[in-house]
A = this chain, B = another copy of it.
Amino acid sequence: MENSRCKVHFFPVDITVEIEKGKTILDAAYKGDLFINALCGGDGTCGKCKVVLGSGMIESMPTAHISVSEAQKGYVLACSTKVIGDLEVIIPEESKLDKSQILVSDFPQFSGSLAAATSKVEHFKHDPLVNKIYLELPQPSLDDCMADYERLCKEIMVKTDIPLEKITTNFDVLKRLPGILRSSDWKVTVTLGYRVSSVEIVEIQGGNVSGENYGVAVDVGTTTVVAHLLNLSRGETIDIEATYNSQIKYGDDYIQRIIYAAQNNAMDLMQEVLVEDINHLISTLIKRNHISIHDISAVVCAGNTVMTHFLIGLDPTNIRKEPYLPAASFVPPLRAREVGIKINNNGLLYTLPCVGAYVGGDISSGALAIRLDKADVLSLLIDIGTNGEIVLGNKDWMVCCSASAGPAFEGSGISCGTRAAKGAIEKVTITKEYDVVYKTIGEAPPGGICGSGLLDCLANLTRSGVIDRTGNFQKGINSDRLRKSDNGYEFVLVDRSKTSTKRDIVITQADIQNLMRSKAAIYSAISTLLESMGMSVSNIEQLYLAGGFGNYLDIRSAITIGMLPDVSVSKVQFVGNTSVIGAKMALFSKDAYEVAGIITSKMTYFDLMSNNKYMEEYISANFLPHTDIEKFPSVAVELMVS
| Contacts from A to B (Cβ < 8 Å) | 140-142, 144-151, 165-166, 168-169, 171, 174-175, 177-179, 182, 196-198, 312-315, 317-318, 322-332, 334, 338, 354, 356-357, 605, 607, 610
Closest to A332 in B: B168
Report yes or no: B327 in contact with A148, Cβ–Cβ below 8 A: yes
Given contact pairs A165-B196, A168-B197, A198-B196, A147 touches B178 in the complex (Cβ within 8 A): no
Sampled A-B contacts (11; CB under 8 Å): A140-B323, A140-B325, A141-B323, A142-B610, A147-B354, A149-B328, A165-B196, A174-B327, A175-B314, A177-B328, A197-B198
Closest to A609 in B: B142
Question: Chain B contacts of A198 at CB under 8 A?
Answer: 196-198
Shortest distance between the CB of A510 and any CB in chain B (Å): 33
Question: Chain B contacts of A144 at CB under 8 A?
Answer: 323
Q: State the number of copies, please.
A: 2
Shortest distance between the CB of A256 and any CB in chain B (Å): 20
Shortest distance between the CB of A46 and any CB in chain B (Å): 34
Question: Chain B contacts of A329 at CB under 8 A?
Answer: 146-147, 149-150
Given contact pairs A166-B197, A197-B198, A148 touches B326 in the complex (Cβ within 8 A): yes
Give the complex CA separation of A547 and B393 in angstroms.
Answer: 67
Report yes or no: A315 in contact with B179, Cβ–Cβ below 8 A: yes
Shortest distance between the CB of A217 and any CB in chain B (Å): 22
Give the complex CA separation of A332 and B152 in angstroms.
Answer: 14
Given contact pairs A145-B357, A150-B330, A357-B145, A174 touches B312 in the complex (Cβ within 8 A): yes
Question: Chain B contacts of A150 at CB under 8 A?
Answer: 328-330
Among all A-B residue pairs, the 8 with the closest Cβ atoms: A149-B328, A147-B326, A147-B329, A197-B198, A178-B327, A142-B323, A145-B323, A197-B197
Report yes or no: B334 in contact with A149, Cβ–Cβ below 8 A: no
Give the complex CA separation of A605 and B147 in angstroms.
Answer: 12
Question: Chain B contacts of A182 at CB under 8 A?
Answer: 318
Shortest distance between the CB of A329 and any CB in chain B (Å): 4
Give the complex CA separation of A318 and B147 in angstroms.
Answer: 10
Which residue of B140, B338, B357 contacts A171 across the interface (Cβ within 8 Å)?
B338
Question: Chain B contacts of A314 at CB under 8 A?
Answer: 174-175, 178
Report yes or no: A148 in contact with B357, Cβ–Cβ below 8 A: no
Shortest distance between the CB of A101 and any CB in chain B (Å): 34
**Which has the most chain B C-beta neighbours within 10 Å: A141, A147, A314?**
A147
Report yes or no: B610 in contact with A147, Cβ–Cβ below 8 A: no
Give the complex CA separation of A179 and B314 in angstroms.
Answer: 11
Report yes or no: A315 in contact with B168, Cβ–Cβ below 8 A: no
Report yes or no: A175 in contact with B145, Cβ–Cβ below 8 A: no
Closest to A149 in B: B328
Give the complex CA separation of A131 and B165 in angstroms.
Answer: 21
Question: Chain B contacts of A327 at CB under 8 A?
Answer: 147-149, 174, 177-178
Closest to A152 in B: B328
Shortest distance between the CB of A121 and any CB in chain B (Å): 27
Report yes or no: B331 in contact with A148, Cβ–Cβ below 8 A: no
Question: Chain B contacts of A148 at CB under 8 A?
Answer: 318, 325-328
Question: Chain B contacts of A169 at CB under 8 A?
Answer: 332
